[in-house]
Amino acid sequence: MMRAAIACALSWWLLWTGTVQGQDDDRNNSAPSPPRSVRIGVLGAGGVTIHGADFSSLPELPTCCPRFRDGSGLATAGMLWGEYPAFGSVVVGLRLGLAQFAGTLRALERKPVLVDDTPTDAVIQHTLEAHFRSMRWEGYIGVRGSQLVDLYVGAGTDLVQQADASIREELVQPSVGTFENGRRVRNERSTALESSTRSMASLLAGARFSIPLGKSQQWWLIPELSFRYALDPVARQQQWYVYSVLVGVGLAYAPIELPRLKQQPSLESPKEETLPPLGASLVAYGIAGTQEQLPLRMDVHSRHRILPLLPVLYMDGAEIPERYIVPESPQDTSWSAALHSPLGAYYALLPIVGRRLRSGTDTLTLIGFDGRSLAIARRRAEYIARYFQSIWNVPGKRLRIRGSVDERDTAARVLFEGSKQLLAPIEVEDTVRTIIPPTLRIRPATNGAEPLRQWTIRLWQDSLEIARRSGSGGLPLKLDVDLSTFADRLHPDAPLLLELEAISTRGSRAVAQEQVPLAFQQPSAQRIAEVEAFYFPAALPTNEALLELAERYRSTLQECTIIAHGSTSDVTSAAQTLAMMLVEAGFPRPSIEQQEELYQPITPERAQYAQLLVLRIRYRTQD
DSSP per-residue string spanning 59-111: SSS---S--EEEEEEEEEEEEEEEEEEEETTEEEEEEEEEEEEEEEEEEEEEE
Q: Is residue 18 part of a domain?
A: no
User: What pLDDT is recorded for position 29?
Assistant: 41
pLDDT tens-digit map of 349-368? 999 999 999 998 999 999 99
Are 140 and 249 part of one and the same domain? yes
Are 502 and 591 part of one and the same domain? no
CATH number reported for the structural domain that contains residue 360 in this entry: 3.30.1330.60
Are 419 and 545 part of one and the same domain? no
How large is the average pLDDT for residues 178-207? 86
* Cβ-based neighbours of 336, under 8 Å, separated by 6 or more: 348
pLDDT at 8 over 70: no
pLDDT at 369 over 50: yes
What is the phi-psi region of residue 136: left when phi exceeds 0, alpha when psi lies from -120 to 50, beta otherwise? Answer: beta
Are 315 and 285 part of one and the same domain? no
User: What pLDDT is recorded for position 426?
Assistant: 94
Are 418 and 543 part of one and the same domain? no
How large is the average pLDDT for residues 80-108? 88
Q: Is residue 577 part of a domain?
A: yes
User: What pLDDT is recorded for position 257?
Assistant: 55
Buried b (16+ CB within 10 A) or exposed e, 157-170: bbebeebbbebebb
At 113, the amino acid letter reads V
Cβ distance 618 to 591 under 8 Å? no
User: What pLDDT is recorded for position 114?
Assistant: 65
User: What pLDDT is recorded for position 365?
Assistant: 96
Are 87 and 224 part of one and the same domain? yes
pLDDT at 562 over 70: yes
How large is the average pLDDT for residues 303-323? 89
Are 416 and 484 part of one and the same domain? no
User: What pLDDT is recorded for position 116?
Assistant: 60
Cβ distance 176 to 222 under 8 Å? no
Instruction: Give the helix ranges, DSSP H, for 165-213.
Output: none
Among 149-163, 259-273, 408-422, whose mean pLDDT is lowest?
259-273
* Containing structural domain, residue 501: 280-301+432-520
Q: Is residue 17 part of a domain?
A: no
CA distance 478 to 474: 12
Q: Is residue 11 part of a domain?
A: no
pLDDT tens-digit map of 416-429? 999 999 999 999 99
Measure Cα distances from 536 to 204, 219, 283, 299, 528 in Å: 39, 64, 46, 30, 27
Q: Is residue 22 part of a domain?
A: no
pLDDT at 25 over 90: no
Are 72 and 178 part of one and the same domain? yes
Residue 19 pLDDT grade (very low, low, confident, very high; cuts 50, 70, 90):
very low
Are 484 and 581 part of one and the same domain? no
Are 504 and 530 part of one and the same domain? no
pTM of the model: 0.49
Q: Kind and range of the H or E element at 477?
A: none
Please give the DSSP secondary-structure letter assigned to residue 537: T
How large is the average pLDDT for residues 565-589? 93
Q: Is residue 270 part of a domain?
A: no
pLDDT at 298 over 90: no
pLDDT at 279 over 70: yes
What is the phi-psi region of residue 214: left when phi exceeds 0, alpha when psi lies from -120 to 50, beta otherwise? Answer: left
pLDDT tens-digit map of 492-526? 778 999 999 999 988 899 999 999 998 876 555 45
- Number of domains observed in the structure of the chain: 4
Q: Cα angle vertex 30, ends 26, 35, to 5°?
A: 55
The last residue of one of the domains, among 394, 424, 454, is 424
Mean pLDDT, rounded, of the chain = 85
Between 178 and 243, residue with greater pLDDT = 243
CA distance 167 to 63: 9
How large is the average pLDDT for residues 173-180? 80
CA distance 2 to 507: 40
With a pLDDT cut of 70, the percent of the chain lying above it is 88
Q: Is residue 24 part of a domain?
A: no
* Cβ-based neighbours of 114, under 8 Å, separated by 6 or more: 120
